[in-house]
Every structure is written in C-alpha cells, then in structure tokens.
Structure 1
C-alpha cells in the first residue's frame, strides 16, 4: 500500500510540476501584454488580427486566467483544451515562418515548433487527467 501511495504521490507531484511549468509561459505573456498594452495592440493590428481592441483583453484574460487555473488544477481538461487551441491558433497567426523573411525565418520556425510542442504537452496532460478521473470515478 505504501509503495502505491508513494507512486501516486510522485505522479501527482509530477503533474503539478507539469501544470506549473506549462502555465508560466502564459502568465508571463499575459502580464507582459498588459504592461505593454498599446504596443501589443499595434502588434495585433500588424498581424491582421480582426477586432484587436476586443481580442487583446480576451487574450490577456485567457493567458493570465488560464495559467492561474491550470496551476490551481481547476477543470484541467477544459483549461488545457482551451490553452491548447489558443496555442495552436497562435502558432499559425503569429509565427508564420513560411511567410517570414530570411532574418526572421529561424526565430519564427522555432516559436511555431515551440507552440506545436506545447499543444502536444497539453494533449498528454488532458489524456492523463482523463485517465485518472475515469479511474477515480470523478467528473472533470
């Protein structure tokens, strides 16, 4: 029984660490957008994001709120799903390496691939949490 509890505690700790590590990028990005609101609004407009003045506060709310909720462990499947979709959309909207000039190509490719990898991490988190919840008989 003790070994099983230790394994469960270790898995729980690793999942918490994964949630915190994945949330950090969203918390930092959201706070930075808030602190540089005007410049970020201009960047969104440059990217061609429609209704940038509406999208920016929603983005900040999703990044900061989603990051905090992910750390707290509240509705992890839903929060991770929302952040995964947002991250994938961001990869295509903000890191279009295929359209970047030679000086920006490598950086945009790296950021695009980072976003894709983060989506993969969210999928693993969603699958793990779903499996644990099924086993525990709880709803999430």
Structure 2
C-alpha cells in the first residue's frame, strides 16, 4: 500500500509542475515578460531554467528517477518562486490575501517534496528497480 500511496503522491505533485512547465514552453515570451516584471536578472535564462526544472522534475517524479534529487531541486525552485512571485508582504492590499494563500500553498508543496527527499520514491519507481539490480 505504501508503494501505491507514494506513487499517487508523486503523480499529484507532478500534476502541479508539469502543466506549468508546458505552459511556459508554449508561452515562453509571456513567461519572460512576467519574470522581467518582478525585476529578476536574465529573464530569458530564468524562464528556460524554470521550464526545464518543472518539466524534467515532473517527469522524474512520475517515473521515480533520481526522485530525491528531483524533489530537492523542485523544493528549492518552489521556495525561490514563492518569494519572488507570491510576496504577499509587499503586495497591494487587495492582492495580499490571494498572494498569501498561494505562498503558503507552495510552502505545503515544499513540505511534500521534502518528504520525498527524505523517503525516496518507494517501490513503484525506476529508483527501486535500479536498487533491486
């Protein structure tokens, strides 16, 4: 049962990141503009890095490949993105509540990713298949 629950958890976490990465791929210029709007340097490089982390990290979670590393990278990425894009402490009053919800939702996602860093992918994964060899 733990293997199935772990797989479901990995799939649900990937469901957050994979569509976001694919939308960055299909709307790359918009992503660059959004990153520019918060004043981050090298927005084109940042957009490319974000879509790579989201897409590759999601695929790694789905198949359970280098799960601990993928989850750690996604956790750091989510923390950085949360600070820059959901800064509720600096938001206009009419936007602060929604930004705060998004920020703390991401903190919860980071918690789930850190559980994967700690526990790994369990049985239904390429990691487990590799360990069995």
TM-score range, shorter chain: 0.7 to 0.9
* Selected match of 1:61 from 52, 63, 83: 52
TM-score, structure 2 normalization = 0.88
- Is structure 2 residue 103 aligned with structure 1 residue 112? yes
Unaligned stretches of 5+ residues in structure 1: 1-9, 133-137
**Equivalent residue, structure 2, for 1:31:** 22
Equivalenced residues, count: 125
Tell me the distance in 1 between the aligned counterparts of 2:62 and 2:9. 9
More contact order relative to length (CA 8 Å, sep ≥ 6)? 2
Q: Based on CA coordinates, which of the two structures has the bigger radius of gyration?
A: 1
Unaligned stretches of 5+ residues in structure 2: 124-130
Q: 1:66 offset after TM fit, Å?
A: 0.5
**CA offsets, 1:31-72, max 9 Å, x none?**
111122111111100011110011111110110111011111
Q: 1:60 to 1:131 in 2, by over 3 A?
A: closer
TM-score, structure 1 normalization = 0.84
Tell me the distance in 2 between the aligned counterparts of 1:42 and 1:75. 32
- Is structure 2 residue 106 aligned with structure 1 residue 79? no
